[in-house]
Structure 1
Amino acid sequence: ANTALGLSVYPLLLWGVPALHGRYLLALGIAQALSLCFAFTTYKAGVFRTRGNLLREFATFASFYLVNYAANWAALP
């Protein structure tokens, strides 16, 4: 589910939201944020089932993807 959403949300935003036509970096940022939140939710609920500090867990989870997202932002233009 995470892979399907991650691969589909970016082109859907570019093609389906007229305000994002030509604004591919903005669409990428929105897609990354949506995908990150979805992945965190599914991993938390279905895999780890932790009950710790939500913000701390999200920050730790997001930091894992930081290098990947930065490389994507640098390579896309």
Structure 2
Amino acid sequence: MTLKNTRPPPPLKAEDQSEGQHRRAIQALSNGVNNVPYDATLRNVVHEGARQPKLPPRQTQKHPGYIRNESGGFFTS
């Protein structure tokens, strides 16, 4: 039985602030400025190569002498 992921992938978010704004907010936070809002330290980044297409499952090849017995085990001739 093969399980499939039926959950849709999360939508891609657009970039919401520039790298400079993000860097300034992180630097202010590291300098001890307490009034930096948490949302200013977060940055959405669009990364096109984050998801690779799934490859089709490959069939595993058994060696020519592979035989499965009745109890579920296997033996070779």
Q: TM-score range by the shorter chain?
A: under 0.3
Higher helix fraction: Structure 1 or Structure 2?
A: 1
Q: TM-score, normalised by structure 1?
A: 0.24
Which protein, 1 or 2, shows the higher relative CO under an 8 Å CA cutoff with sep ≥ 6? 1
Which of the two has higher C-alpha Rg?
A: 2
Give the number of the structure whose residues are more often strand, by fraction.
2
TM-score, scaled to structure 2:
0.24
